[in-house]
Amino acid sequence: MPASPSPRWTFLDSPLGRLLLTADESGALTSLSVPGQKGGRTVQDGWRHDPGAFRAAGEQLAAYFAGELTEFQVELRSSGTEFRQRVWDALDSVPYGETTTYGWIAARIGASRAAVRAVGGAIGANPLLVVRPCHRVIGADGSLTGYAGGLDRKRRLLGLEGVPLAP
């Protein structure tokens, strides 16, 4: 069986720190990690450094951080269970500048209220921070709950999007 192609990768500087982006051979973005991210990726031996493959993603991220872009138009590809894929698809439907709850995501995918914890786990495993907006999911009481990139980054992203935050 032939070996699978090595991921392409690059670093991009951002207001959140140095981002690590990876893509598959087709150029689809497969991960975006921030420094110190829980479960974030790190460059592995055999990966191919290819900054040119990320030109469109880099331009869109720069426009997003400048407040000029509200919806990413890059191809995303992530692998996960069917349940995680459904949760991630629901995340993709949360509009810029709005928030939702874990319970709403559970209802959106047809999961029971008892599945809220599993929904949280799937959101926490999102490999595409920022571009797949898991930062827009908050607690039912309006609190800023877990974010793999850290709550300070979650506050910064929501603030950038104009979401009013409690002091």
Mind telling me the catalytic residues? 134
**Long-range Cβ contact pairs of 143-149 (< 8 A, separation 24 or more):** 145/102, 145/120, 146/120, 148/37, 148/38, 148/39, 148/40, 148/124, 149/16, 149/34, 149/36, 149/37, 149/40
Residue 130 falls in which region: left (phi positive, over 0), alpha (psi -120 to 50) or beta:
left
CA separation for the pair 132, 126 (Å, rounded): 8
Q: What is the DSSP letter of 122?
A: H
Picking from 93, 163, 101, the residue whose alpha carbon sits closest to that of residue 138 is 101
Q: For the chain, where are the E strands, in sequence order?
A: 8-14, 17-23, 29-33, 48-49, 100-101, 137-138
- For residues 33 and 16, is the Cβ–Cβ distance under 8 A? no
